[in-house]
């Protein structure tokens, strides 16, 4: 370790070396490994392979909804109630990156400050880093780390706009969609295709008068067969909640428990796990192809072979693309 006053350089443990401490539930080790996942450290793969084999113990809950609908506040209340039941919980709160600078302001923790200091709660903010659609990958790998760290429940908060974000909410065992009165979000959420992914609906801020309208509308939509296509006997509940009065929080926890039991008893849990794994493997394969392609391009320089012939219309784009694919297989 070298010390220039105020700046300490230190070679920290490699991703693999972090694993024992992660398994011991070390906050520092989990946090470090999550950063490696975010930055796409190639060594993380081995580490995650190691963790994956023994994983799958935690329950994963996704929570999504339009901006400002009360997700983070609800997460806080959920976590408190969860802790009161003697269960530990980790929260992954995802906010969008700026498409202009790639930077982000991650503000979800503002609503969760009273959770800080409880060793049974771990909170991590993540920027979507829009690039390459790797968000679901990063989120799932983070879930693996938190799972290995021994948390009973892992809660994923994402803003319900954009396919990437919605995908994340769907890689959970139970997906909660939050709506709030007075945001005009009924229309927004329908457009984004968010309402359809709910196993559970929450109408937040029900201490406000307009909430009853939102509740009615949502119930009507469900009645009209919002999820008619889904092959399940699960009856999607609509829960009114308020962080101000505490209404609905216990109901929500119970409903998540019931949904878990339903997944278990109906055999749908296996289907869901298969679906999550399938998405994950396919996304990863796509990412690997992209990585290799990028590597190939670095090797061949700025100009791809055959491009000139396509420009001159001597050859067609398809043929050259297939050749290219074969070249870096």
Partner 1 sequence: MTTGNERIRVLLAKVGLDGHDRGVKVVARCLRDAGMEVVYTGLHRTPEEVVTTAVQEDVDVLGISLLSGTHMSAFPNILKLLENEGADDIIVVGGGVISEQDSQALKEQGVAAILSQDTPPEQIVDTIRQLVERRGPR
Ligand X SMILES: Nc1nc2c(ncn2[C@@H]2O[C@H](COP(=O)(O)OP(=O)(O)OP(=O)(O)O)[C@@H](O)[C@H]2O)c(=O)[nH]1
The answer to whether 72 and 157 are in contact (CB under 8 A) is: yes
In sequence order, the 6+-apart residues with CB closer than 8 A to the CB of 197 are 64, 166, 169, 170, 175, 177
What are 275's two structure tokens? Answer: 């679906």
242 makes contact, choosing from Mg ion, partner 1, ligand X, none, with CB < 5 to 8 Å by partner type, with ligand X
What are 265's two structure tokens? Answer: 């008893």
Residue with Cβ nearer ligand X (245 or 266): 245
At closest approach, how far in Å is the CB of 286 from partner 1? 16
At closest approach, how far in Å is the CB of 243 from partner 1? 16
* Spatial separation of the C-alpha atoms in residues 29 and 17, rounded to whole Å: 9
Contact pick of 41, 50, 186, 207 for ligand X (by CB under 6 A): 207
* Spatial separation of the C-alpha atoms in residues 127 and 194, rounded to whole Å: 20
At closest approach, how far in Å is the CB of 162 from ligand X? 12
Contact pick of 15, 72, 142, 174 for Mg ion (by CB under 5 A): 72
* Spatial separation of the C-alpha atoms in residues 240 and 209, rounded to whole Å: 12
Mask of contacts with partner 1, 94-123, x by CB under 8 A? ---xx-xxxxxxxx-xx--x--xx----xx
Element (H, E) at 64: strand 59-65
* 40 in contact with partner 1 (CB under 8 A): yes
Residue with Cβ nearer Mg ion (108 or 144): 108
* Spatial separation of the C-alpha atoms in residues 88 and 325, rounded to whole Å: 46
| Footprint on this chain of partner 1 (rule: CB under 8 A) | 4-12, 27-28, 31-32, 34-35, 38-43, 97-98, 100-107, 109-110, 113, 116-117, 122-125, 127, 129, 131
The residues binding ligand X (CB under 6 A) are 65, 67-73, 108, 111, 159, 204-205, 207-208, 242-244
């Amino acid at each position: 370790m070298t010390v220039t006053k105020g700046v300490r350089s230190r070679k920290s443990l490699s991703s693999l070396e972090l694993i024992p401490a992660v398994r011991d539930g070390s906050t520092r080790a989990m946090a470090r490994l999550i950063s490696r996942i975010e930055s796409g450290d190639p060594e993380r793969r081995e580490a995650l392979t190691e963790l994956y084999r023994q994983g799958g113990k935690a329950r994963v809950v996704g929570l999504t909804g339009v901006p400002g609908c009360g997700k983070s506040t609800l997460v806080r209340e959920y976590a408190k109630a969860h802790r009161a039941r003697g269960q530990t919980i980790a929260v992954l709160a995802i906010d969008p990156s700026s498409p202009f600078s790639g930077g982000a302001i991650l503000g979800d923790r503002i609503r969760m400050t009273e959770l800080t200091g409880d060793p049974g709660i771990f909170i991590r903010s993540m920027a979507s880093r829009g690039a390459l659609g790797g968000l679901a990958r990063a989120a799932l790998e983070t879930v693996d780390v938190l799972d290995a760290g021994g948390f009973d429940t892992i809660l994923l908060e994402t803003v319900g706009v954009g396919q990437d974000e919605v995908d994340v909410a769907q890689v959970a065992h139970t997906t909660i969609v939050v709506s709030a009165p007075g945001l005009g979000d009924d229309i927004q959420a329908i457009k984004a295709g968010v309402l359809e992914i709910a196993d559970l609906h929450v109408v937040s801020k029900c201490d406000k008068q307009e909430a009853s309208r939102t509740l009615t509308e949502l119930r009507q939509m469900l009645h009209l067969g919002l999820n008619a296509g889904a092959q399940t006997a699960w009856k999607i509940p609509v829960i009114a909640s308020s962080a101000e009065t505490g209404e609905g929080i216990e109901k929500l926890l119970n409903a998540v428990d019931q949904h878990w039991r339903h997944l278990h008893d109906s055999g749908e849990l296996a289907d869901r796990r298969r679906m999550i794994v399938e998405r994950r493997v396919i996304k990863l394969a796509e990412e690997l192809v992209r990585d290799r392609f990028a590597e190939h391009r670095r090797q061949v320089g700025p100009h791809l072979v055959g491009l000139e012939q396509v420009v001159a219309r001597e050859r067609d784009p398809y043929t050259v693309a297939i050749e290219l694919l074969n070249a870096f297989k």
